[in-house]
């Protein structure tokens, strides 16, 4: 069996259709049904005719990805789908052969059926696996460091780690540098700012955004970790009630409902839930209905807020979390 990475678009545009329909899908909208291609040179010719302005190396790269998706994947193989808008890795099992689905939107016609997707927070996976999941290719095989064995262990409720060397984690197919950097920061925060310390980091971010902040002491907090408001004394709107959940598992919808009640008790205009382990899909759906009242931050969101407001964080927090901004060249992939 094999472990595959199948991305759902640069912006996650194919995520919803993949998850709702239990499929893996890829782009290349200009290509028609590939199921009749039995020999690789046929795919080579099709790509050359369809993408006449693209470079030979690019076409060879695409050919490898397409051939893998159509012919090399087998039922029983595992597929990894990192989500763009949630700090979640979806894992599914290939359930059948390639199919060109004419009924799907143009961006999702090339498909593979998948047994029900299972979701896991990114922090369930070791850094070397996250590195592999950050390959820029839409489709690629993941094999380094016993990756499939370790992912299957996670599916079974256990975790296998492995000794890894730097050269073993390099990815020939390119890397999502932004996500890799975010994962490194997440791992550092998880090590250095455990438990209630995470509330102090959230409070520092809110102060950098212009709020007056009151952080509850460690211990029972009555459903409130942080109170924040605008103005010199924090009396002005918007007034926020914030809950910070530092444990690793995704929180369920009860947390959102609890926050709604606490907002009323404290006379808050809006609420924020920060969950280090992310959110179950039911929370995302309910939060969408309260878009103008409640916001959700997972680990990736908090890291992004730290990056955006880093210069305005207090000196002691910058010393606790030393970061440096760099510029890097990115490569284009399908």
Confidence of residue 174 (pLDDT cuts 50, 70, 90): low
Q: Which segments of the chain does DSSP mark as H helices, in order? A: 15-21, 40-50, 56-67, 127-133, 147-155, 177-192, 197-208, 253-266, 281-289, 299-309, 315-320
Confidence (pLDDT) at 1: 83
Confidence of residue 161 (pLDDT cuts 50, 70, 90): low
Confidence of residue 165 (pLDDT cuts 50, 70, 90): very low
Taking residues 286-293, report their average pLDDT. 90
Confidence of residue 183 (pLDDT cuts 50, 70, 90): confident
Q: C-alpha distances in angstroms, 112 versus 72, 207, 262, 268?
A: 12, 47, 45, 47
Confidence (pLDDT) at 232: 92
Taking residues 260-278, report their average pLDDT. 92
Taking residues 175-201, report their average pLDDT. 85
Please give the Cα distance from 155 to 85 (Å, whole number): 22
**CATH architecture of the domain with range 3-175:** Roll (3.10)
CATH code of the region 197-320: 3.40.1350.10
Please give the Cα distance from 147 to 137 (Å, whole number): 17
- Phi then psi dihedrals of residue 273, to 5 deg: -110, 120
110-140 per-position pLDDT tens digit: 999 999 899 998 888 988 899 889 888 899 9
Q: Kind of pairing, strands 270-275 and 236-245? A: parallel
The three-class DSSP label of residue 58 is helix
- Provide the percentage of residues in the chain whose pLDDT is more than 70: 92
pLDDT at 175 over 70: no
Taking residues 272-295, report their average pLDDT. 90
Confidence (pLDDT) at 160: 67
Please give the Cα distance from 52 to 41 (Å, whole number): 16
Q: Which of 28, 32, 17 is nearest to 62 (CA)?
A: 28
- Phi then psi dihedrals of residue 326, to 5 deg: -135, 160
**Do the Cβ atoms of 124 and 158 come closer than 8 Å?**
no
Listing DSSP states for 265-305 in one string gives: HHT-SEEEEEETT-B-HHHHHHHHHTTTTEEEE-HHHHHHH
Confidence of residue 213 (pLDDT cuts 50, 70, 90): very high
64-93 per-position pLDDT tens digit: 999 999 999 999 999 999 998 888 899 999
**Do the Cβ atoms of 89 and 160 come closer than 8 Å?**
no
Taking residues 24-44, report their average pLDDT. 94
Show Cβ contacts of residue 308 under 8 Å, excluding neighbours closer than 6 positions: none
The three-class DSSP label of residue 213 is strand
Cis amide prior to 234 (ω within 30 degrees): no
Confidence (pLDDT) at 331: 58
Its pTM stands at: 0.71
Q: Which residues of 153-190 are buried (b: 16+ CB within 10 A; e: fewer)?
A: ebeeeeeeeeebeeeebebebbbbeebebbbebbbebe
Domain with CATH 3.40.1350.10 in the chain: 197-320
Please give the Cα distance from 319 to 254 (Å, whole number): 36
Counting Cβ atoms within 10 Å, is residue 20 exposed (0-12), middle (13-18) or buried (19+)? exposed
Domain with CATH 3.10.590 in the chain: 3-175
Taking residues 17-36, report their average pLDDT. 94
């Amino acid at each position: 069996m094999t472990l595959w990475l199948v991305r759902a678009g640069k912006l996650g545009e194919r995520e919803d259709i993949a998850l709702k329909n239990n499929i893996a899908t890829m782009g290349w909208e200009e290509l028609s049904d590939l199921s009749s291609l039995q020999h690789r040179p046929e795919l080579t010719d099709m790509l050359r005719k369809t993408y006449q302005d693209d470079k030979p190396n690019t076409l060879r790269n695409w050919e490898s990805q397409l051939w893998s998706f159509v012919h090399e994947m087998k039922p029983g193989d595992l597929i990894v789908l990192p989500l763009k808008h949630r700090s979640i890795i979806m894992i599914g099992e290939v359930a059948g052969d390639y199919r060109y689905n004419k009924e799907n939107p143009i961006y999702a016609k090339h498909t593979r059926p998948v047994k029900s997707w299972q979701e896991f927070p990114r922090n369930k996976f070791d850094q070397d696996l996250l590195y592999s999941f950050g390959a820029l290719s839409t489709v690629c095989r993941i094999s380094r460091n016993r990756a499939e064995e370790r992912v299957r262990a996670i599916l079974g409720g256990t975790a296998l780690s492995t000794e890894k060397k730097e050269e073993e984690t390099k990815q020939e197919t390119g890397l999502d540098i932004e996500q890799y950097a975010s994962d490194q920061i997440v791992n550092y925060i998880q090590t250095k700012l455990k438990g209630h310390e995470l509330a102090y980091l959230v409070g520092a971010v809110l102060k950098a955004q212009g709020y007056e902040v009151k952080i509850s002491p460690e211990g029972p907090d009555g459903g409130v970790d942080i109170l924040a408001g605008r103005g010199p004394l924090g009396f002005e709107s918007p007034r926020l009630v914030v809950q910070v959940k530092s444990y690793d598992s995704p929180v369920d919808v009860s947390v959102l409902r609890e926050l709604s009640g606490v907002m009323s008790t404290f006379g808050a205009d809006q609420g924020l839930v920060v969950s280090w382990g992310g959110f179950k899909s039911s929370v995302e759906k309910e939060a969408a209905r309260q878009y103008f009242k409640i916001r959700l931050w997972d680990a990736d969101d908090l890291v992004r807020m730290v990056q955006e407001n880093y210069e305005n964080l207090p000196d002691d927090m910058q010393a606790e979390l030393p970061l440096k901004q760099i510029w890097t060249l990115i490569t284009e992939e399908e």
